[in-house]
């Protein structure tokens, strides 16, 4: 097949940057990485990119295609070439470019090390030599985070890191959740306290681009949400982000409405809110300030309160609750998808109950748009 690529070439020594186009023949099964190999072998040996395929280091070939992070070895080129498209290939974002498609990973690894990515066990080795068995329920909490291959695709697309380079970032925090959620680790509270500090959990803008671009389904934004839930569960809620989340829960539990006029003082404090009065009055003039009083207690709020109490009673007010919700949503999506595939009927499901259906991978990757 005939393939064309546009590749951003960058010289780290001079700072020169140029977009160059390459055309060549490639086998129909070729990936983007195969195509880069062809360019380097047959057209331009100076092209620089990383790869470690078949050397037990998966994740080295991260780069951008048309502005979105991908693993080059996972992108099949057949449909792209057949459609006559000429994709633009560039280096990953949020990391310094060394040459062409090669970025400096030192900042990446520095943040990875900062979250202490190793188990800090709180138990003695059993005298009988037996293993410490973890229940499946507890493993479900960190299953996705354990799949991370440190490729950096999530970091490349992180809006929070673009605006604040000191933000720990989705990869580091996802790895942090992998250890916070491990029942064998004795440093969970210390970790959560550290991760909740400046440039930590609460600086995430919730744009979901990290979920969208992760090639392994780790869903780093979900991991950050788990960290936030665990931090609040442990009473680590001094950050404004934590106070903001707490007020959402309190407001919904009491009246069933989000009482927005109380949100700012509950999040920032009374003194800080007074300082913002001039801004608030400007909003009031253009009708952007909601009524300070909810019209009534929302219908069905008793069920909401009952659910809150049940979650607290079962101890699922942290990461376990988020995982339980994810699994329930995946069952619903799988059930709906099966119905659609069967022409709107439940054919093929037999007499199985919905809860017994083994869910497929939930489509939780949502493109974001700012904060």
Instruction: State whether 219 and 361 are in the same domain.
Output: yes
Q: Are residues 65 and 195 in the same domain?
A: no
Task: Look up the CATH number of the domain holding residue 35.
Answer: 3.10.20.30
**148 and 18, same domain (yes or no):** no
**Is the residue at 292 inside a domain?**
no
Chain mean pLDDT for the chain = 86
Query: Does residue 63 sit in the same domain as residue 137?
Result: no
End-of-domain residue from the set 68, 103, 138: 103
The dihedrals phi and psi of 55, each to the nearest 5 degrees, come to -125, 25
Buried b / exposed e across 186-206, counting CB within 10 Å, b at 16+? Answer: ebbeebbebbbeebbbbbbbe
pLDDT of amino acid 346: 45
Q: Which of 77, 103, 129 is the last residue of a domain?
A: 103
List 64's β-bridge partners, or say none. Answer: 69, 90
pLDDT score, position 127:
66
Q: Which of 79, 103, 127 is the last residue of a domain?
A: 103
Q: Is residue 184 part of a domain?
A: yes
Q: 271 in a domain, yes or no? A: no
265 found inside a domain: no
Residue in the block written with tokens 């990461």: 319
Contact indicator for 161, 108 with CB cutoff of 8 Å = no
Q: Are residues 345 and 224 in the same domain?
A: yes
55 belongs to a structural domain: yes
Calculate mean pLDDT across residues 244-254: 87
Sign of the alpha-carbon dihedral angle for 168, 170, 176, 181 = positive
Summarize the confidence of residues 81-109 as an average pLDDT. 97
Residues 175 and 140 in one domain: yes
Are 48 and 102 in contact, with CB atoms under 8 Å apart?
yes
Give the rounded percent of residues in the chain with a pLDDT score beyond 90.
55
- Residue 302 located in a structural domain: no
Q: Which CATH number belongs to the domain containing residue 357 in this structure? A: 1.10.1060.10
92 shares its domain with 32 = yes
Residue 3: CA count within 13 A, CB half-sphere:
27
Domain identity same for 122 and 94: no
Token pair recorded at residue 124:
């003695």
Give the domain range for residue 155.
105-238+318-371
253 lies in some domain: no
Give the number of domains in the chain.
Answer: 2
User: Do 81 and 133 reside in the same domain of the chain?
Assistant: no
Nearest Cα neighbor of 62 from 161, 171, 155 is 155
Q: What is the mean pLDDT of residues 252-260?
A: 83
- The answer, as to whether pTM is greater than 0.85, is no
Indicate whether 277 belongs to any domain.
Answer: no
212 with 94, same domain: the answer is: no
**Per-residue pLDDT reduced to its tens digit, 158-198:** 999 999 999 999 999 999 999 999 988 999 999 999 999 99
Are 122 and 96 contained in the same domain?
no
Q: Which residue has the higher pLDDT, 36 or 326?
A: 36
Binned at pLDDT 50, 70 and 90, residue 71 comes out as: very high
Q: How confident is the model at residue 370 (pLDDT cuts 50, 70, 90)?
A: very low
Residues 135 and 198 grouped into a single domain: yes
């Amino acid at each position: 097949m005939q393939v064309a690529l546009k590749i951003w070439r960058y010289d780290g020594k001079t700072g020169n940057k140029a977009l160059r186009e390459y055309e060549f023949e490639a086998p129909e099964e070729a990936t983007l990485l195969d195509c880069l190999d062809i360019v380097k072998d047959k057209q331009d040996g100076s092209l620089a990119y990383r790869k470690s395929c078949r050397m037990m280091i998966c994740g080295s070939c991260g780069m951008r295609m048309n502005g979105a992070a991908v693993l080059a070895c996972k992108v099949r080129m057949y449909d792209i070439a057949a459609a006559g498209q000429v994709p633009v290939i560039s280096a990953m974002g949020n990391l310094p470019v060394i040459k062409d498609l090669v970025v400096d990973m030192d900042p990446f690894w520095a943040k990875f090390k900062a979250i202490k990515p190793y188990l800090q066990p709180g138990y003695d080795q059993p005298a009988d030599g037996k293993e410490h068995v973890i229940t499946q329920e507890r493993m479900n909490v960190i299953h996705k985070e354990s799949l991370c291959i440190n490729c950096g695709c999530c970091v490349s697309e992180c809006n929070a890191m673009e605006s604040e380079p000191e933000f720990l970032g989705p990869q580091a925090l996802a790895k942090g959740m992998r250890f916070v959620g491990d029942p064998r680790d004795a440093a969970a509270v210390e970790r959560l306290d550290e991760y909740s500090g400046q440039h930590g959990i609460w600086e995430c803008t919730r744009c979901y681009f990290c979920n969208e671009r992760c090639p392994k389904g780790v869903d780093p934004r979900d991991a950050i949400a788990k960290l936030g839930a665990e931090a609040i569960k442990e009473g680590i809620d001094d950050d404004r982000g934590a106070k903001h989340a707490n007020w959402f829960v309190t407001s919904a539990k009491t009246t069933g409405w989000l009482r927005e006029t109380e949100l700012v003082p509950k999040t920032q404090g009374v003194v800080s809110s007074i300082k913002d009065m001039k801004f608030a009055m400007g909003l009031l003039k253009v009708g952007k300030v909601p009524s300070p009083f909810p019209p009534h207690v929302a219908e069905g709020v008793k069920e909401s309160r009952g659910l809150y109490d049940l979650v607290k009673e079962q101890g699922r007010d942290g990461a376990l609750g988020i995982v339980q919700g994810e699994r329930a949503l995946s069952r619903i999506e799988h059930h709906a998808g099966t119905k659609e595939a069967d022409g709107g009927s439940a054919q093929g499901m037999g007499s199985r109950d919905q809860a017994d259906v083994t869910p497929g991978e939930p489509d939780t990757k949502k493109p974001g748009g700012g904060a």
